[in-house]
Amino acid sequence: MTESTSRFIDRLTLETVDRDIFSGTCHAGAPLRAYGGQIAAQALMAAGMTVDDKARRVHSLHGYFLRPGRTKDSIIYLVDRPRDGRSFSTRIVRAVQHGETIFLMTASFAVTDVGPEHQFEIPEVVTPDDVPEMSYPEILALDPDSALSLNYPDQALIDLRIVDHEHHVFLRDGRYERMSWVRITEPLPSDPLAQASALTYLSDLTMVRTALSPHFEMHDELQLASIDHAMWFHAPIDTSQWLLFAQDTPVARGGHGLARGLFYDRQGQLVASVVQESLMRLRRRH
């Protein structure tokens, strides 16, 4: 894979090295720095490729960004299989580069059972057709140093439309909220693992910016990075169709900022939830 990769699915593709060992390459984000969402997506792909019962679909993941990944070298994904029970399979994945673990993930897969159902209703928001498209220069101008700007993938592959992008997140009814529409611009395989991995990729695009936005005036003074990332998958996903990503930021304290997000499809079904904690601390003088 190179920066000229023209298909999104290639960004999830791994090479099998040995049993439970896989290799992948990440596209460039910031100079020599891999995009964290892609590392998480590839780690989930690696975990799922070791689950033999394909009726078991990923229902959750918990990942920790430990070191920056580099884009010029391959990343090795080492998968451990701590449990295959009657209903659940658990996997632990280490992403290793140059002998160091850069990312650690626990992923759980489960059969789909029948049980009670409820969900938050989809927020009232304008349709994606009513949100202006944003060019790459416009995104960069919003926040030149954010994870979104540094890691934004080829715009030909992803269509991201931030509602009221010209405004920072404001306090409304005691909550800081951000709404975005997002989709992948080409059809992907209907395979649930590929779809869940693609959504994992998308989920890391704007979370740091959401947590930062109430304090944007401090932007130049802060060191920013994703610390950990958790997702839960609730329903079948089609990432080539518009998804509403409704985000809020309940708290920032102690040099960390928390952002939460809910993914809804156009029919109003809540398909996934995500929580991310970001490093948001004053730059240290060395």
Please report where in the chains the tokens 């049993």 appear, as a residue: 19
169 burial level (CB within 10 Å; 0-12, 13-18, 19+) = buried
User: Catalytic one among 197, 226, 247, 278?
Assistant: 226
Give the list of residues 6+ apart from residue 246 with CB closer than 8 angstroms, or none: 122, 123, 125, 177, 178, 179, 261, 262, 264
Q: Are 102 and 69 in contact (CB under 8 A)?
A: yes
The DSSP symbol for 213 reads G
Q: Are 232 and 254 in contact (CB under 8 A)?
A: no
User: Catalytic one among 146, 197, 276, 278?
Assistant: 276
**Dihedral angle computed from the Cα positions of residues 6, 8, 12 and 14, in that order, rounded to the nearest 10 degrees:** -30
Q: Are 5 and 28 in contact (CB under 8 A)?
A: no
**Dihedral angle computed from the Cα positions of residues 192, 134, 32 and 50, in that order, rounded to the nearest 10 degrees:** 0
How many angstroms separate the CA atoms of 127 and 244, rounded? 9
How many angstroms separate the CA atoms of 95 and 78, rounded? 7
How many angstroms separate the CA atoms of 245 and 162, rounded? 9
CB atoms within 10 A of CB 263: 25
- Residue 225: strand pairing partners: 279
The DSSP symbol for 153 reads -
In the annotation, is 204 catalytic?
Answer: yes
User: Catalytic one among 42, 146, 197, 204?
Assistant: 204
In the annotation, is 213 catalytic?
Answer: no
Q: Catalytic residue positions?
A: 204, 226, 276
